[in-house]
Protein backbone atom coordinates (compact mmCIF):
# COMPACT_ATOMS: atom_id res chain seq x y z
CA UNK A 1 0.00 0.00 0.00
CA UNK A 2 1.43 3.43 -0.93
CA UNK A 3 2.41 5.55 2.07
CA UNK A 4 -0.11 8.29 1.18
CA UNK A 5 -2.99 5.80 1.21
CA UNK A 6 -1.61 3.94 4.17
CA UNK A 7 -1.79 7.11 6.22
CA UNK A 8 -5.55 7.25 5.81
CA UNK A 9 -5.84 4.24 8.10
CA UNK A 10 -4.06 3.63 11.40
CA UNK A 11 -0.64 2.01 11.23
CA UNK A 12 -1.82 -0.68 13.60
CA UNK A 13 -5.29 -1.44 14.82
CA UNK A 14 -6.57 -4.34 16.87
CA UNK A 15 -10.18 -4.91 17.73
CA UNK A 16 -11.08 -7.23 20.56
CA UNK A 17 -8.09 -9.38 19.67
CA UNK A 18 -7.82 -12.68 21.43
CA UNK A 19 -5.22 -15.40 21.27
CA UNK A 20 -5.59 -18.61 23.23
CA UNK A 21 -2.94 -21.29 23.47
CA UNK A 22 -4.25 -24.70 24.22
CA UNK A 23 -1.77 -26.57 26.37
CA UNK A 24 -0.45 -29.63 24.58
CA UNK A 25 -2.22 -28.10 21.65
CA UNK A 26 -1.64 -28.42 18.02
CA UNK A 27 -1.76 -31.82 16.59
CA UNK A 28 -3.57 -33.12 19.63
CA UNK A 29 -6.83 -31.32 19.16
CA UNK A 30 -8.79 -34.52 19.37
CA UNK A 31 -7.12 -35.45 22.63
CA UNK A 32 -7.59 -31.94 24.02
CA UNK A 33 -11.24 -32.10 23.17
CA UNK A 34 -11.59 -35.44 24.85
CA UNK A 35 -10.08 -34.34 28.14
CA UNK A 36 -12.40 -32.25 30.26
CA UNK A 37 -11.01 -29.22 32.13
CA UNK A 38 -8.06 -28.98 29.79
CA UNK A 39 -6.33 -25.70 30.60
CA UNK A 40 -5.95 -23.02 28.00
CA UNK A 41 -3.67 -20.04 28.32
CA UNK A 42 -5.20 -16.79 27.23
CA UNK A 43 -2.28 -14.78 25.90
CA UNK A 44 -4.38 -11.94 24.50
CA UNK A 45 -7.79 -11.20 25.89
CA UNK A 46 -9.79 -8.63 23.98
CA UNK A 47 -6.95 -6.30 23.05
CA UNK A 48 -8.12 -3.14 21.29
CA UNK A 49 -5.43 -0.69 20.28
CA UNK A 50 -4.93 1.97 17.65
CA UNK A 51 -1.50 3.23 16.69
CA UNK A 52 -1.33 6.10 14.24
CA UNK A 53 1.36 6.57 11.60
CA UNK A 54 4.36 8.43 12.93
CA UNK A 55 3.84 7.24 16.49
CA UNK A 56 6.36 5.54 18.66
CA UNK A 57 4.08 3.40 20.74
CA UNK A 58 5.23 1.45 23.76
CA UNK A 59 3.71 -1.73 25.07
CA UNK A 60 4.60 -2.36 28.69
CA UNK A 61 3.99 -5.50 30.64
CA UNK A 62 5.50 -8.16 32.82
CA UNK A 63 6.94 -11.39 31.45
CA UNK A 64 4.14 -13.42 29.93
CA UNK A 65 1.76 -10.46 29.85
CA UNK A 66 1.13 -10.91 26.11
CA UNK A 67 3.50 -8.35 24.56
CA UNK A 68 5.38 -10.75 22.33
CA UNK A 69 2.22 -12.60 21.36
CA UNK A 70 0.71 -9.34 20.17
CA UNK A 71 3.81 -8.60 18.11
CA UNK A 72 3.75 -12.10 16.61
CA UNK A 73 0.14 -11.62 15.58
CA UNK A 74 0.85 -8.23 14.05
CA UNK A 75 3.87 -9.54 12.17
CA UNK A 76 1.74 -12.36 10.70
CA UNK A 77 3.64 -15.11 12.50
CA UNK A 78 0.71 -16.11 14.64
CA UNK A 79 -3.01 -16.23 13.89
CA UNK A 80 -5.46 -14.62 16.26
CA UNK A 81 -7.99 -16.93 17.86
CA UNK A 82 -10.68 -14.28 17.42
CA UNK A 83 -11.00 -10.55 16.91
CA UNK A 84 -9.32 -8.47 14.25
CA UNK A 85 -5.87 -7.04 13.70
CA UNK A 86 -4.89 -4.66 10.92
CA UNK A 87 -1.50 -3.39 9.85
CA UNK A 88 -1.65 -0.46 7.45
CA UNK A 89 -5.34 -1.25 7.13
CA UNK A 90 -4.61 -4.81 5.99
CA UNK A 91 -5.95 -7.83 7.79
CA UNK A 92 -3.22 -9.97 9.40
CA UNK A 93 -5.06 -13.17 8.57
CA UNK A 94 -5.94 -12.38 4.95
CA UNK A 95 -3.33 -9.96 3.64
CA UNK A 96 -0.25 -11.72 4.92
CA UNK A 97 2.10 -11.05 2.01
CA UNK A 98 1.21 -7.36 1.45
CA UNK A 99 1.71 -6.70 5.16
CA UNK A 100 5.10 -8.38 5.15
CA UNK A 101 6.38 -5.95 2.52
CA UNK A 102 6.02 -3.03 4.90
CA UNK A 103 7.12 -4.33 8.27
CA UNK A 104 10.26 -5.43 10.07
CA UNK A 105 10.96 -6.78 13.50
CA UNK A 106 13.90 -6.83 15.89
CA UNK A 107 13.84 -8.96 19.02
CA UNK A 108 16.07 -8.70 22.05
CA UNK A 109 18.89 -11.24 22.21
CA UNK A 110 18.35 -12.09 18.56
CA UNK A 111 20.97 -14.38 17.00
CA UNK A 112 19.67 -14.29 13.45
CA UNK A 113 21.77 -14.57 10.34
CA UNK A 114 24.93 -16.56 9.81
CA UNK A 115 28.13 -16.05 11.75
CA UNK A 116 30.27 -16.93 8.77
CA UNK A 117 29.05 -13.92 6.81
CA UNK A 118 30.53 -10.48 7.20
CA UNK A 119 28.31 -7.74 8.55
CA UNK A 120 27.91 -6.27 5.07
CA UNK A 121 27.07 -9.64 3.52
CA UNK A 122 24.51 -10.39 6.19
CA UNK A 123 22.72 -7.09 5.68
CA UNK A 124 22.86 -7.53 1.92
CA UNK A 125 21.34 -11.01 2.24
CA UNK A 126 18.36 -9.75 4.21
CA UNK A 127 17.93 -6.85 1.76
CA UNK A 128 17.64 -9.41 -1.04
CA UNK A 129 14.67 -11.03 0.69
CA UNK A 130 12.81 -7.75 0.19
CA UNK A 131 13.97 -7.26 -3.39
CA UNK A 132 16.22 -4.28 -2.67
CA UNK A 133 18.57 -3.83 -5.66
CA UNK A 134 22.16 -4.63 -4.67
CA UNK A 135 23.53 -1.15 -5.33
CA UNK A 136 20.79 0.46 -3.28
CA UNK A 137 21.28 -2.16 -0.57
CA UNK A 138 24.98 -1.33 -0.29
CA UNK A 139 24.20 2.39 -0.16
CA UNK A 140 21.75 1.83 2.67
CA UNK A 141 24.16 -0.50 4.46
CA UNK A 142 26.90 2.16 4.39
CA UNK A 143 24.46 4.73 5.70
CA UNK A 144 23.11 2.51 8.47
CA UNK A 145 26.50 1.27 9.61
CA UNK A 146 27.74 4.83 9.82
CA UNK A 147 24.67 5.81 11.81
CA UNK A 148 25.17 3.06 14.38
CA UNK A 149 28.93 3.62 14.41
CA UNK A 150 29.84 0.24 12.97
CA UNK A 151 31.47 1.24 9.70
CA UNK A 152 34.76 -0.30 10.81
CA UNK A 153 33.04 -3.64 11.39
CA UNK A 154 31.49 -3.82 7.90
CA UNK A 155 33.88 -6.53 6.75
CA UNK A 156 34.13 -8.32 10.05
CA UNK A 157 32.49 -11.72 10.47
CA UNK A 158 29.24 -11.60 12.40
CA UNK A 159 30.35 -14.26 14.91
CA UNK A 160 33.16 -11.98 16.07
CA UNK A 161 30.84 -9.17 17.14
CA UNK A 162 29.91 -8.36 20.71
CA UNK A 163 26.30 -8.67 21.88
CA UNK A 164 25.79 -4.92 21.67
CA UNK A 165 27.23 -4.74 18.18
CA UNK A 166 25.05 -7.66 17.08
CA UNK A 167 21.95 -5.93 18.29
CA UNK A 168 22.87 -2.79 16.41
CA UNK A 169 23.37 -4.96 13.32
CA UNK A 170 19.96 -6.52 13.95
CA UNK A 171 18.50 -3.04 13.93
CA UNK A 172 20.29 -2.29 10.65
CA UNK A 173 18.99 -5.61 9.30
CA UNK A 174 15.44 -4.51 9.97
CA UNK A 175 15.94 -1.00 8.63
CA UNK A 176 17.84 -1.89 5.46
CA UNK A 177 14.50 -2.86 3.92
CA UNK A 178 13.07 0.60 4.73
CA UNK A 179 9.96 -0.63 6.55
CA UNK A 180 6.99 1.61 7.25
CA UNK A 181 6.32 -0.07 10.56
CA UNK A 182 9.00 -1.40 12.85
CA UNK A 183 8.29 -3.84 15.66
CA UNK A 184 10.85 -3.79 18.43
CA UNK A 185 10.43 -6.60 20.93
CA UNK A 186 12.54 -5.71 23.95
CA UNK A 187 15.37 -4.56 21.71
CA UNK A 188 17.73 -3.47 24.46
CA UNK A 189 17.40 -6.47 26.72
CA UNK A 190 20.82 -7.71 27.84
CA UNK A 191 22.69 -4.74 26.42
CA UNK A 192 25.09 -2.58 28.37
CA UNK A 193 24.20 1.05 29.01
CA UNK A 194 26.07 2.45 26.01
CA UNK A 195 24.81 -0.14 23.55
CA UNK A 196 21.23 0.30 24.75
CA UNK A 197 21.55 4.05 24.45
CA UNK A 198 22.93 3.71 20.91
CA UNK A 199 19.93 1.59 19.92
CA UNK A 200 17.48 4.07 21.43
CA UNK A 201 19.18 7.04 19.84
CA UNK A 202 19.09 5.45 16.44
CA UNK A 203 15.43 4.51 16.73
CA UNK A 204 14.62 8.14 17.52
CA UNK A 205 16.79 9.34 14.63
CA UNK A 206 15.12 6.88 12.25
CA UNK A 207 11.67 8.11 13.25
CA UNK A 208 12.68 11.72 12.62
CA UNK A 209 14.17 10.96 9.22
CA UNK A 210 10.88 10.26 7.48
CA UNK A 211 7.45 11.29 8.76
CA UNK A 212 4.97 8.46 8.96
CA UNK A 213 7.40 5.84 10.18
CA UNK A 214 5.87 3.95 13.05
CA UNK A 215 7.37 1.91 15.85
CA UNK A 216 5.73 -0.50 18.25
CA UNK A 217 8.14 -1.10 21.10
CA UNK A 218 7.76 -3.62 23.87
CA UNK A 219 9.98 -3.18 26.86
CA UNK A 220 10.45 -3.95 30.52
CA UNK A 221 12.47 -0.80 31.00
CA UNK A 222 10.17 2.01 32.10
CA UNK A 223 12.76 4.72 31.59
CA UNK A 224 13.14 3.50 28.01
CA UNK A 225 9.43 3.83 27.39
CA UNK A 226 9.37 7.19 29.15
CA UNK A 227 12.26 8.44 27.06
CA UNK A 228 11.12 7.14 23.68
CA UNK A 229 7.40 6.67 23.45
CA UNK A 230 4.72 9.10 22.34
CA UNK A 231 2.09 6.86 23.89
CA UNK A 232 2.15 3.63 25.84
CA UNK A 233 -0.24 0.87 26.77
CA UNK A 234 0.09 -1.40 29.77
CA UNK A 235 -0.80 -5.00 29.13
CA UNK A 236 -1.47 -7.47 31.92
CA UNK A 237 -2.68 -11.04 31.56
CA UNK A 238 -3.44 -10.30 27.92
CA UNK A 239 -5.59 -7.25 28.62
CA UNK A 240 -4.81 -3.61 28.04
CA UNK A 241 -5.32 -2.07 31.45
CA UNK A 242 -4.24 1.48 30.64
CA UNK A 243 -3.08 3.54 27.71
CA UNK A 244 -2.14 7.12 26.96
CA UNK A 245 0.94 9.32 27.04
CA UNK A 246 3.41 8.52 29.78
CA UNK A 247 2.44 11.75 31.54
CA UNK A 248 -1.23 10.82 31.37
CA UNK A 249 -0.51 7.46 32.88
CA UNK A 250 1.47 9.00 35.69
CA UNK A 251 -1.09 11.67 36.40
CA UNK A 252 -4.04 9.33 36.24
CA UNK A 253 -2.57 7.49 39.14
CA UNK A 254 -2.08 10.54 41.31
CA UNK A 255 -4.74 11.21 43.81
CA UNK A 256 -2.92 14.36 44.92
CA UNK A 257 -0.56 16.88 43.44
CA UNK A 258 2.81 16.78 45.15
CA UNK A 259 5.33 19.59 45.53
CA UNK A 260 8.73 19.89 47.12
CA UNK A 261 9.73 23.26 48.52
CA UNK A 262 13.11 24.16 49.90
CA UNK A 263 13.16 26.98 52.43
CA UNK A 264 15.89 29.08 53.94
CA UNK A 265 15.97 29.73 57.71
CA UNK A 266 12.42 30.01 58.98
CA UNK A 267 10.51 31.07 62.04
CA UNK A 268 9.83 28.17 64.42
CA UNK A 269 7.43 27.25 67.10
CA UNK A 270 8.38 26.44 70.68
CA UNK A 271 10.87 23.59 71.35
CA UNK A 272 9.55 20.06 71.45
CA UNK A 273 6.29 20.92 69.71
CA UNK A 274 6.51 18.09 67.21
CA UNK A 275 3.68 17.82 64.74
CA UNK A 276 4.97 14.83 62.85
CA UNK A 277 3.51 11.49 63.55
CA UNK A 278 5.96 9.27 61.67
CA UNK A 279 9.19 10.21 63.52
CA UNK A 280 12.25 9.68 61.29
CA UNK A 281 14.34 12.73 60.61
CA UNK A 282 12.20 15.00 62.74
CA UNK A 283 13.47 18.50 63.19
CA UNK A 284 14.06 19.59 66.71
CA UNK A 285 11.63 22.41 66.32
CA UNK A 286 8.77 22.51 63.89
CA UNK A 287 8.28 25.61 61.71
CA UNK A 288 5.26 27.69 62.64
CA UNK A 289 3.71 27.59 59.20
CA UNK A 290 3.27 23.86 59.18
CA UNK A 291 0.18 24.10 61.30
CA UNK A 292 -1.05 26.97 59.21
CA UNK A 293 -0.57 24.92 56.07
CA UNK A 294 -2.28 21.90 57.53
CA UNK A 295 -5.25 24.01 58.39
CA UNK A 296 -5.49 25.29 54.82
CA UNK A 297 -8.33 23.88 52.77
CA UNK A 298 -7.07 21.47 50.09
CA UNK A 299 -3.75 20.67 51.77
CA UNK A 300 -3.75 16.92 52.26
CA UNK A 301 -0.38 16.35 53.83
CA UNK A 302 2.64 18.31 54.99
CA UNK A 303 5.99 16.75 55.67
CA UNK A 304 9.05 18.67 56.83
CA UNK A 305 12.66 17.84 57.25
CA UNK A 306 15.29 20.27 58.46
CA UNK A 307 18.98 19.93 57.73
CA UNK A 308 21.75 22.43 58.24
CA UNK A 309 19.36 25.34 58.64
CA UNK A 310 17.35 24.52 55.54
CA UNK A 311 13.92 23.04 55.61
CA UNK A 312 12.57 20.75 52.95
CA UNK A 313 8.84 20.76 52.77
CA UNK A 314 6.81 18.14 50.94
CA UNK A 315 3.21 19.03 50.26
CA UNK A 316 0.34 17.00 48.94
CA UNK A 317 -2.45 19.20 47.58
CA UNK A 318 -5.84 18.23 46.32
CA UNK A 319 -5.55 20.63 43.35
CA UNK A 320 -2.59 22.05 41.47
CA UNK A 321 -3.76 25.68 41.71
CA UNK A 322 -3.61 25.57 45.53
CA UNK A 323 0.14 26.00 45.29
CA UNK A 324 -0.41 29.77 44.93
CA UNK A 325 -2.31 29.96 48.24
CA UNK A 326 0.31 27.80 49.87
CA UNK A 327 3.12 30.02 48.70
CA UNK A 328 1.27 33.07 50.05
CA UNK A 329 0.85 31.36 53.43
CA UNK A 330 4.53 30.55 53.50
CA UNK A 331 5.45 34.15 52.73
CA UNK A 332 3.20 35.47 55.46
CA UNK A 333 4.77 33.05 57.95
CA UNK A 334 8.22 34.32 57.06
CA UNK A 335 9.34 31.37 55.01
CA UNK A 336 11.97 32.16 52.39
CA UNK A 337 11.42 29.89 49.37
CA UNK A 338 14.64 28.78 47.71
CA UNK A 339 13.28 26.21 45.28
CA UNK A 340 9.90 24.89 44.26
CA UNK A 341 9.50 21.63 42.33
CA UNK A 342 6.50 19.60 41.38
CA UNK A 343 7.11 15.92 42.15
CA UNK A 344 6.04 13.73 39.25
CA UNK A 345 5.47 10.05 39.83
CA UNK A 346 7.73 7.88 37.69
CA UNK A 347 6.37 5.64 34.99
CA UNK A 348 7.68 2.74 37.01
CA UNK A 349 5.51 3.79 39.97
CA UNK A 350 2.56 4.13 37.66
CA UNK A 351 3.25 0.73 36.10
CA UNK A 352 3.66 -1.04 39.43
CA UNK A 353 0.47 0.49 40.75
CA UNK A 354 -1.48 -0.36 37.59
CA UNK A 355 -0.26 -3.92 37.33
CA UNK A 356 -0.54 -4.51 41.07
CA UNK A 357 -4.10 -3.26 41.06
CA UNK A 358 -4.97 -5.35 38.02
CA UNK A 359 -3.34 -8.41 39.56
CA UNK A 360 -5.58 -8.05 42.56
CA UNK A 361 -8.65 -7.71 40.38
CA UNK A 362 -7.92 -10.44 37.88
CA UNK A 363 -5.82 -12.95 39.67
CA UNK A 364 -8.01 -15.89 38.90
CA UNK A 365 -9.12 -14.95 35.43
CA UNK A 366 -6.15 -15.64 33.21
CA UNK A 367 -6.54 -19.39 33.14
CA UNK A 368 -9.62 -20.43 31.33
CA UNK A 369 -11.19 -23.81 31.64
CA UNK A 370 -11.76 -25.23 28.20
CA UNK A 371 -15.01 -26.97 27.62
CA UNK A 372 -14.90 -30.65 26.90
Partner 1 sequence: MTTTSSVTPGTAWHKTSGSMRLGFKTMIGRAYPRLISAIREPDWIFYEIALPLLRVTAFVLVYKALKAPPEYAGFVILGGAMMAFWLNVLWMMAAQLHWERLSGNLELYLMAPASMLWILAGMAFGGIFITLLRAAVIVVIGSLIFGISYAITSMPELVLIFVLTLVALYGLGSMLASLYLLYNREVWAIQEMIQEPVALITGFYFPVRALGGYAGGVASLIPLTLGLDAMRQLLFPHGWPSFLPVGWEIAILMVLVVVFLVGAAKSFAFIERRARGEGRLTLKWQ
Query: Footprint of partner 1 on this chain (CB under 8 A)?
Result: 21, 25-27, 72, 75-79, 97, 100-101, 103-105, 107, 110-114, 116-117, 121, 124-131
SS3 209: helix
Q: Smallest distance from the beta carbon of 114 to partner 1, in angstroms?
A: 4
SS3 152: helix
Q: Smallest distance from the beta carbon of 24 to partner 1, in angstroms?
A: 11
- Report d(CA 324, CA 332) in Å as an integer: 12
Nearer CB in complex with partner 1: 164/335: 164
Q: Smallest distance from the beta carbon of 21 to partner 1, in angstroms?
A: 6
- Are 131 and 162 spatial neighbours (Cβ–Cβ below 8 Å)? no
Residues paired with residue 215 on neighbouring β-strands, in sequence order = 56, 182
Q: Smallest distance from the beta carbon of 42 to partner 1, in angstroms?
A: 13
- Report d(CA 64, CA 62) in Å as an integer: 6
Nearer CB in complex with partner 1: 148/158: 158
Q: Smallest distance from the beta carbon of 205 to partner 1, in angstroms?
A: 23
Alpha helix (H) residue ranges in the chain: 3-6, 29-34, 67-74, 96-100, 119-128, 134-147, 163-175, 193-209, 222-228, 246-253, 289-295, 322-332, 347-362
Nearer CB in complex with partner 1: 138/276: 138
Q: Smallest distance from the beta carbon of 122 to partner 1, in angstroms?
A: 9
Nearer CB in complex with partner 1: 100/269: 100
- Report d(CA 101, CA 179) in Å as an integer: 8
SS3 200: helix
Q: Smallest distance from the beta carbon of 78 to partner 1, in angstroms?
A: 5
Nearer CB in complex with partner 1: 182/222: 182
Nearer CB in complex with partner 1: 30/131: 131
Nearer CB in complex with partner 1: 217/257: 217
SS3 284: coil
Interacting residues of 309 by C-beta distance below 8 A, sequence separation 6+: 264, 265
Amino acid sequence: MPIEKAHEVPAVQTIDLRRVYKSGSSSHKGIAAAIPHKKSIIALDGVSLTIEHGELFGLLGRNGAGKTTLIKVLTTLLSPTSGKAFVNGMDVTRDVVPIRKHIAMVSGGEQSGYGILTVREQLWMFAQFYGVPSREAHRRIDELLAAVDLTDQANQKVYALSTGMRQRINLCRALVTDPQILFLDEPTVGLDVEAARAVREYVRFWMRQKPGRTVLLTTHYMFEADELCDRVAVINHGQIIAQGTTNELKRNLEEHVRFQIELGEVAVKSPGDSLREDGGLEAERTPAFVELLRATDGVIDVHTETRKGRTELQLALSREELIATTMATLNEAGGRVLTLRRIEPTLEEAFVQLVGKAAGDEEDEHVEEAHP
